[in-house]
């Protein structure tokens, strides 16, 4: 259990057969993480579920951490993809339109694989190379900042960096919390209200939509 494993894999998958093996290992890791949690996700078990021997596992992943990192990498890519696609789509739209779409996208992203997302967020110790899962935010922040910059005239804030940080952090936290611990606020009829509230939170902060009539078309 002492951690003095390699830092790099001994081999890199080159033939098709081995690429299949690598995929199976990553997929098995994800499945076990979801089903049994991080602590019970032993490398022996992962190899067994992937249908390969433990030795094979260590051909391509130098440590358990590397395996989990691959899962995080894959998951993060999927999330970021949703976000980037959404940002591209609304790049030319005014903030009133764009922010609403981005909030929707953030929720969609968290729904890609919520169970895995939860495990990664709650159980995987962030250590070494996976210091923070919030790599998604790191990806999203500069992109969103660029959007704000392009729409500078619609936006009334002193510090764009700070504003981008605040908004990205806020949206991530709210969608995360909603998906993970408050599924009720995302139930069918209520989901729109939630999107609307978060959108308003952002719009008003940016100095738009001030004094808009409120309390209409929102229930409870």
170 interacts with DNA by CB under 7 A? no
Q: What's the rounded Cα separation, in Å, for the pair 11 and 19?
A: 11
Q: What does 6 bind: a second copy, DNA, none (CB cut-off 5 to 8 Å by kind)?
A: DNA
Instruction: Give yes or no for residue 214 binding DNA (CB under 7 A).
Output: no
Residue 41 binds what, of DNA, a second copy, none (CB under 5 to 8 Å, by partner type)? DNA
Q: Is 129 in the site for DNA (CB under 7 A)?
A: no
Nearer to DNA, 57 or 87 (CB): 57
DSSP H helices, the chain, are 16-36, 43-50, 54-60, 64-89, 95-110, 114-122, 135-150, 160-181, 188-205
Choice between 68 and 86, CB closer to DNA: 68
Q: Which does 177 bind (CB under 5 to 8 A by kind): DNA, a second copy, none?
A: a second copy
Nearest to 140 by CA among 58, 219, 199, 81: 81
* 220: partner contacted, choices DNA, a second copy, none (Cβ within 5-8 A by kind): a second copy
Q: Is 43 helix (H, G, I), strand (E, B) or coil?
A: helix
> Where does this chain bind a second copy (CB under 8 A)?
37-39, 122-127, 131-132, 134, 156-159, 161-163, 165-166, 169-170, 172-174, 177, 181-182, 185, 193-194, 197-198, 200-201, 204-205, 207, 210-211, 214-215, 218-220
For residue 200, give both structure tokens.
């308003």
Nearest to 205 by CA among 137, 162, 150, 156: 156
194 binds DNA per the rule CB under 7 A: no
Q: Are 107 and 178 in contact (CB under 8 A)?
A: yes
Cβ proximity to a second copy: between 146 and 157 the closer is: 157
Question: Could you write out the DSSP letters of every residue in 50-104?
Answer: HTS-HHHHHHH-SSHHHHHHHHHHHHHHHHHHHHHHHHHHTTTS-HHHHHHHHHH
Residue pair 30/114 in contact (Cβ under 8 Å)? The answer is no
210 binds, among DNA, a second copy, none (CB under 5 to 8 A by kind): a second copy
Query: Which of 31, 45, 104, 208 forms a contact with DNA (CB under 7 A)?
Result: 45
Q: Which stretch binds DNA (CB under 7 A): 4-12, 75-83, 113-121, 133-141?
A: 4-12
Q: Which parts of this chain interact with DNA (CB under 7 A)?
A: 1-3, 5-6, 11-18, 20-21, 40-45, 51-56, 58-59, 62-65
């Amino acid at each position: 259990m002492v951690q003095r494993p390699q830092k790099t894999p001994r081999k890199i998958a080159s033939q098709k057969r081995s690429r299949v093996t690598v995929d199976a290992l990553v997929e098995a890791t994800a499945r076990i993480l979801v089903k049994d949690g991080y602590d019970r996700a032993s490398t022996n078990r992962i190899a067994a579920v992937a249908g390969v021997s433990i030795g094979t596992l260590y051909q391509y992943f130098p440590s358990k951490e590397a395996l989990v990192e691959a899962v995080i990498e894959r998951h993060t890519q999927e999330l970021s993809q949703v976000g980037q696609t959404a940002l591209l789509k609304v790049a030319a739209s005014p903030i009133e339109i764009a922010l609403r779409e981005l909030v929707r996208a953030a929720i969609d992203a968290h729904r890609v694989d919520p169970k895995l997302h939860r495990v990664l967020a709650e159980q995987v110790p962030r250590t070494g190379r996976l210091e923070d899962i919030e790599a998604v935010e790191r990806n999203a922040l500069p992109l969103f900042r660029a959007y704000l910059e392009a729409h500078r005239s619609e936006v009334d804030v002193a510090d764009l960096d700070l504003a981008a940080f605040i908004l990205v952090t806020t949206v991530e936290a709210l969608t995360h919390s909603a998906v993970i611990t408050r599924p009720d606020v995302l139930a069918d009829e209520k989901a729109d209200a939630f999107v609307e509230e978060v959108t308003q939170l952002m719009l008003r902060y940016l100095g738009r939509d001030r004094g808009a009539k409120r309390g209409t078309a929102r229930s409870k």
